[in-house]
Structure 1
Amino acid sequence: MPVLAAVAPGQNPVHYGLAAGSPIPLHAGAAGKAILAHCDGDVIGKLSLDALTPETTTQRDDLEHDLALVRERGWAEGEGERIFDAFGIAAPFFEGPHIAGSVTLTIPRDRKGEIDPARLGDALTRSAAQITRLLTL
């Protein structure tokens, strides 16, 4: 299971955060789905789709739909799937042809109305592309 490598806190007095080294479930939340969308199909088939919150996708067909959307637009979104009160956006980065991780922005779910998810998703996608270029040098 992938783990959270680094954390950069936001500027608001109340923020969401996990410690570096925290496991990232591939089927729940933006960070994991951004990665899972680019894994081999057998990885998805072997996953146990355990519910972490009432919002966690536990049906393979629903997960496959979410992953197709990630591949289409280039970034993932998760709302309350891993941590009930969190909203996240993530973009995958690669090392050569292989998925290497994701760049993720997570905020408290009640602040979602303050952001433009598509704009932030596109910005994360550009950042992830820069990381990919650095890893592929």
Structure 2
Amino acid sequence: MSTDPIRGEAARETPGGTESADRVADVLLLFARSEDPLGVSRIARDLALSKAVVHRILQSLSSRSLVQPVPGGSSYVLGPAAAGLAARAWSQLDVRSVASPVLRKLRDATRETTTLSVLVGDQRIYLDQFESPQEIKMVVEIGPRFPLHSGASSRAILAHLPQPLIDEAVRQLVALKPDTDVEAYLADLATSRERGYAVSLNERNTGAASIAAPFFDVAGNVLGSVSSSGPVFRYADLADGADERQTRLVVEAANDITDRLR
């Protein structure tokens, strides 16, 4: 007798397990559409499934890290394996080729390093960059994952995510920096959301500065961010919100990528 929840009871309900596969796919797609963590009751109701079947599907998905339980609760969110699938999807969609001419144009206009970041699960990765022609410049590493709580490229994305993901990012930040002023942090995040870009000065790396703006899919979901970054002494006006040309160019670049992806 099979002990796999997907290959066991649910798979026996129809020849070949086709219905079971459909149900698993429906559960994953429900997570992809949801702005909140999902529990057994909600999934069962939305998909017209029994709670027993939903529970078994979640057990199997969790064992494969496609979903993971929310700490201290009975709900689930997408897991790191789902993030891996998202990363592969990004490479197949070739967002890099769509954004490449925009990044190059932004680099030429600002003479600073420009980067493309994409959201992968509850983190982000740098997908591409065009380096500044200047001797003193910022250079990023393509591929590693970064948390969403720190840095302009991360916070430009985080500002447009559902509240549970914002709460989780804040929890991670407080665990890393217990003296974080959460109220001030959330206020800054709201400001970034309203004005359409985020800035950072000496935040992730001492001596580094960055301006980042988000880009979106056709449904309005945030996909990633575009940034211009360099040494902090060339971004001094950011502290006073005075670098209007630089911020305008970054926001225009992000909007251009959004338009090209539609």
Tell me the equivalent position of 2:250.
124
Identity percentage of aligned residues: 31
Letter in structure 2 aligned against 1:124: V
Alignment of 1:1-137 (within 5 A): 1-47=123-169, 48-49=172-173, 50-51=176-177, 58-96=180-218, 97-113=220-236, 117-136=243-262
Equivalent-residue separation in structure 1 for 2:146 and 2:228 (angstroms): 14
Separation in structure 2 between the aligned mates of residue 32 and residue 65 of structure 1, nearest angstrom: 16
- Partners of 2:138 and 2:229 within 8 A in 1: yes
One-letter identity of the residue aligned with 1:2: R
RMSD over aligned Cα, in angstroms? 1.8
Question: What CA distance in whole angstroms lies between the structure 2 residues aligned with 1:10 and 1:31?
Answer: 17
SS of aligned partner of 1:24? strand
| C-alpha contact 1:24 1:31 (8 A) present in aligned 2 | no
| Structure that is richer in helix per residue | 2
What CA distance in whole angstroms lies between the structure 2 residues aligned with 1:130 and 1:69?
Answer: 22
Q: What displacement does 1:58 show? A: 2.9
TM-score (norm 1): 0.87
Higher relative contact order (CA 8 A, sep 6+): 1
Structure 2 unmatched runs, 5+: 1-122
Deviation at 1:114, TM superposition (A): 7.4
Aligned residue for 2:147, secondary structure, equals coil
Tell me the alpha carbon deviations over residues 3-57 of structure 1, each in whole angstroms, 9 at most, x when there is no partner: 0111110011121111111323211111011000000011011120024xxxxx9
Runs of at least 4 residues off by over 3 Å: 113-116
Instruction: In structure 2, give the amino acid aligned to 1:44.
Output: I
**Paired position in structure 2 for 1:54:** none
**Partners of 1:76 and 1:91 within 8 A in 2:** yes
How many residues align? The count is: 131
